[in-house]
Amino acid sequence: MKKSKGIRTETLYKIFIYVTLIALAITIIIPVAWVFLASIKENAEFYGNPWSLPEGIHLQNFVEAFRDAQMGEYLLNSVIVTTLSLFFLLVIALPAAYVLSRFTFMGSKFLNSFVKAGLFINVSYIAVPIFLMLLGWDSGLQELFGEGMFLNNRVILALIYASTALPFTIFLLSSYFVTLPSDFEEAASIDGAGHFRTMFSIMLPMAKPSIIIVILFNFLLFWNEYILALTLMPGENKTLPVGLLNLLAAERAAVNYGPMYAGMVIVMLPTLILYIIVQKRLTQGMTVGGVKG
Amino acid sequence: MNKNKSRNIFIIVCISPAIILFTLFMVAPTVEVFRMSLYRWGGFSNTREFVGLDNFKVLWNDTNFIQAFQNSIVLIVLVAIITLVFAIFFAAVLTKEKVKGDNFFRVIFYIPNILSIVVIAGIFSAVYDPSTGLLNSIFGVLSLESFQQMWLGNQDIVIYSVAGALVWQAVGYYMVMYMSSMASIPASFYEAAELEGAGKFKQFTSITLPLIWNNIRTTLTFYIISTINLSFLLVTAMTGGGPDGSTEVFLSYMYSQAYGNSTYGYGMAIGVIVFTFSFALAGIVSHITKRDVLEY
C-alpha cells in the first residue's frame, strides 16, 4: 500500500518536472521563432491574429531593412568593428597575459591586481567620459587640421572595445598560462630560443583552447554591444544593434513592423548559428571565467 | 647582463600596449567619473566650475533620482530572487534527475544569453504589445480577458514587465553556473542520504544547497551588478525610461542626464552614487550570507 503511493508521487513528480522544463523551453523558443516568422510577414498580417502563420515568404522586409534602414551598411560596419576588435584584443592581450602570469619582475604583482581591478569597471559607467575624452581630442585636432577623427571612427571604436575587454580576457588567459609547467620555457631556453620565439612557437599554440573561448565570448560581446556604439558614433558608421535600435524607435512612431523584425533576424542570426555550432564549448568555457556583462 | 636586458625588453614590449590602453580607456574614464562629479559642467555653458559636493546635495532632493533608485531596488530584488529560484530548480533537475533530452533543454535555456539586449527589447515589445502582443492574445484565447494589460503602458505594472524580460534573459546563464558546481558534488553523498531515507527535498536542502552555497554567494554579487547594468541597457532600448519615468533606473537616469541633457557633472555624480551603492550592497549581501565553508 505504502509502496504504490510512493510510486504514484514519483510519477507525479516526474510529470511535474517535464511540465516545468517544457514550459520554460516554450517561453524561450516561441518568442524567438515568432520573430523569425514575423520577419517574412506582410504588413497587413500584423493587424490580425499574432499566432497566424505567414501567408507567404515576404522577403521584401529584408530588402527594405537592408536598403531603406541601411542595415546592409550597418552590417558591414559591425563585421569590420567586431573583426578588428578581436584582432586588437588578441594581439594585445595574449602577450600581456603570458608575461603577467609567468614572469616575476618589479611591479608585476601590482600590475596583476591593477588589471584585475578592471573587472569591476563596467562600460555603462564610463561611456560618457570616453565620449567626452574623444570629443576633446577631436576639437584639439579641429583647431590644428580642421577636422576630428576620433568620434564616428570604426577603428577607434574597435580599439576601445578591445580595451574594455582586456581585464576579463587577460584574467581568463592568465588562469590558463599559470597552470603550465615551467619545463617548456627551460627546454626552449636551452635550445637557444629567445623569449619571443618561446612565446610565439611554444606557449601561444598551447593556449589554443583558451584562445577559442576568448574569441567566442568576445565575439558575442562585441557583436551585441550597443551603448558604446551609440555614444561614440553619433554620426555615421553605426553598428547593427544601433541600427536596430533606430528601427525599434521608428516602429513605435510610425507603423512598419516587417523591416523591424527583419532587422532583429539580421542581428541575431549570426550569433544563433555560432551558438548552435559551438554551444558545448561556450557553456563549458563560461564556468572557467564566469563574469557576467 | 645581456640576457637580463633582453628579458626586460621582452616584458616591456609585451605588457605596455595592454597597460597603456587599459589605463587610457578604462582607468582614466573611471577617474574622470569621480572628478567630474565635483564640477558643474554642461548645459548651455561650456565652462567648468568646481562646486564640491553640490551635485550630490541636489541629487538628494531630486525626485526623479529617487524614483530611479526605487525602480532599481525593485528590479534588483525581484530579478535576483526569481532568477535564483528558477535557475537552482532547473539546475537541480537537469543534474540530479535522469531527464530525457537534458542536453536539448540546456542548449535552449542558454539561448537568451547570447542575444543582444536590443533584440531582447524587440522580442518583448512584441510579447507585451497591448493589441497584437503574444501575451494578451494568449489571455484572450484562454478567455482570461481580465488579465490583459497594457504591459508597457501602465505605470503600475511596467516595472514588472521589465523584470520579466530580465529574468527571461538571465535564468539560463545562472542555471549553467549552478549546474557546474552541482555536478562536482560526489554522488555517494546522495546515495548515503537515500539509504538513511532522506527524500528529494531533504537531500536538496541538506546536501546540494550547503555545498553550492559559495557559488550562490558569488552569483548574488553578479545579480546586483548585472541587474544594474542590464536594466539600463534594456530600459534604454525598450521603454526609454517611460511612461513618465516609471521604468527609469540608476544608469538610464545617469545616461540621460550626462549624454542626453549634457549636464555632465550631475550625471557623473549619479554614477558615483550608483557605483558606491552597488559595491556597498554587494559587500553587505556577501557579509550576511557568509557561512562556514563545507569541505567535501
Alpha-carbon distance B74 to nearest alpha carbon in chain A (angstroms): 20
What part of B 247-266 touches A (C-beta under 8 Å)? 251, 254-255, 258-259, 264
Q: If you average pLDDT over residues B236-250, what whole number do you get?
A: 86
Domain match, B87 and B190 both: yes
Is residue B44 domain-resident?
A: no
pLDDT score for A15: 92
The parts of chain A modelled with pLDDT lower than 50 are 1-2, 290-293
pLDDT of residue B46: 66
Instruction: Give me the residues of A, 59-88, that contact B with CB < 8 A.
Output: none
Q: Which of the four pLDDT bands, split at 50, 70 and 90, describes residue B97? A: confident
**Domain assignment present for A57:** no
- Comparison of pLDDT for B11 and B245, the residue scoring more: B11
pLDDT of residue A1: 43
Collect all residues of chain B within an 8 Å Cβ-Cβ radius of residue A28. 108-109, 111-112, 168, 172
Q: Are residues B73 and B27 in the same domain?
A: no
* Number of domains making up chain B: 2
pLDDT for the residue numbered A5: 61
Q: What confidence score (pLDDT) does residue A58 get?
A: 83
Q: Could you say which residues from 156 to 195 on chain A have a Cβ atom under 8 Å away from some Cβ of chain B?
A: 159-160, 162-164, 166-167, 170, 194-195
- Note whether residue B71 is domain-resident: yes
- Residue A110 domain-assigned (yes or no): yes
Interface test with B, best of A9, A21, A281 (most B CBs within 10 A): A21
Its domain, for residue B21, covers: 2-36
Q: Note whether residue B86 is domain-resident.
A: yes
CA distance A173 to chain B (A): 14
Q: What is the mean pLDDT of residues B129-135?
A: 83
B-chain CB neighbours of A30 within 8 Å are: 134
| Domain-located, residue A120 | yes
Q: Are residues B14 and B151 in the same domain?
A: no
Mention every residue, 6+ apart, whose C-beta is less than 8 A from residue B166: B75, B79, B83, B227, B230, B231, B234
Lowest pLDDT segment from A154-168, B70-84, B97-111: B97-111
- Is B296 domain-assigned? no
**Does residue B28 sit in the same domain as residue B74?**
no
Question: What is the ipTM metric for this complex?
Answer: 0.88
| 3-state SS assignment for residue A13 | helix
Residues 6+ apart with CB under 8 A from B104: A25
In Å, how far is B109's CA from the nearest CA of chain A? Answer: 6
- We report the CATH number of the domain holding residue A179 as 1.10.3720.10
Q: Does A145 touch chain B (CB under 8 A)?
A: no
Instruction: Verify that B89 and B156 share a domain, yes or no.
Output: yes
Statement to judge: residues B155 and B31 lie in one domain: no
Q: Is residue A186 part of a domain?
A: yes
What CATH code is carried by the domain that includes residue B104? 1.10.3720.10
| Sign of torsion over alpha carbons B20, B26, B32, B34 | negative
Give domain status of residue A236, yes or no: yes
| Full domain range(s) for residue A256 | 69-289
Do B89 and B13 belong together in one domain?
Answer: no
| Number of helices (H), then strands (E), in chain B | 14, 2
With CA atoms as reference, the chain A residue closest to B180 would be A287
Interface residue of B14, B128, B256 to substitute, partner A, most A CBs within 10 Å: B14
Q: Which residues on adjacent β-strands are paired with residue B41? A: B48
B42 found inside a domain: no
Q: Does B242 lie in the same domain as B117? A: yes
Task: Identify whether residues B93 and B7 lie together within a single domain.
Answer: no
Task: Please indicate, yes or no, if residue A38 is contained in any of the structural domains.
Answer: no
User: Are both B101 and B237 inside the same structural domain?
Assistant: yes
Are residues B164 and B66 located together in one domain of the fold? yes
Among all residues of chain B, which has the CA nearest to that of A268? Answer: B115
Residues B161, B19: one domain? Answer: no
User: What residues contact residue A103 under an 8 Å CB cut-off, 6+ apart?
Assistant: B7, B11
In this structure, of A111-115, B28-32, B51-55, B276-280, the range with the lowest mean pLDDT score is B51-55
In a domain, B49, yes or no: no
Nearest to B114 among A96, A98, A275 (CB): A275
- Name the pLDDT band for B45 (thresholds 50, 70, 90): low
Q: Which of B99, B51, B71, B203 is nearest to A20 (CA)?
A: B99
> How many domains is chain A built from?
1
In a domain, B190, yes or no: yes
pLDDT in tens, A9-60: 888 988 999 999 999 999 999 999 999 999 998 877 877 777 878 888 888 8
Q: Quote the pLDDT of residue A286.
A: 60
- Beta-carbon separation of B26 and A166 below 8 A: yes
Q: Is residue B41 part of a domain?
A: no
**Lowest mean pLDDT, pick from A95-109, A190-204, B43-57, B278-292:** B43-57
